[in-house]
Amino acid sequence: MKKDSASLAHTSWRCKYHIVFAPKYRRQIIYGKYKQSIGTIIRELCERKGVEIHEANACKDHIHLLVSIPPKLSVSQFMGYLKGKSSLMIFDRHANLKYRYGNRKFWCRGYYVDTVGRNKEKIAEYIRNQIQDDYVADQLTLFEEYDPFTEEKNRKK
């Protein structure tokens, strides 16, 4: 079993972050035929910077990562590197996307980040189950035959 903290030359650290980011305009492009390719690109870029991926999941319109970022890198430096380089690599591997994203910016400008304390297992479980949660949420938006408030029969639109 791996120890909970890592170390550099004169530093011992445990910096884990839950990061969520999405493609431009929240286009639902990740989960299809590009999921495996984008996952490979993100893993490769994380390895280059010494960032360890504990858990990752690509939903249809966003990505969840649970990562350990060394203290020599700030989260904003890492995210700028990850989103910038991955955009270029995605457009190089999938030339047809250049026409959808004319300015060669694949990702949205912002991202969500949260520090992970001792509840790493709960967040990892949340990331693993995110696709199932999205599916359940989508099922709630399906057409209902009867209006739950007036109990009148709904007409299909």
> For this structure, is 146 an active site residue?
no
Eight-class DSSP state of 107: B
* Three-state secondary-structure class, residue 23: strand
Assign residue 91 a region (left: φ > 0; alpha: ψ between -120 and 50; beta: otherwise): alpha
Alpha-carbon distances of 110 from 20, 24, 123, rounded to whole Å:
9, 10, 21
Active-site annotation holder among 17, 81, 101, 126: 126
Task: Decide if 22 contacts 108 (C-beta within 8 A).
Answer: yes
Phi/psi at 111 (nearest 5 deg)? -160, 165
Phi/psi at 122 (nearest 5 deg)? -65, -45
Residues noted as catalytic:
126
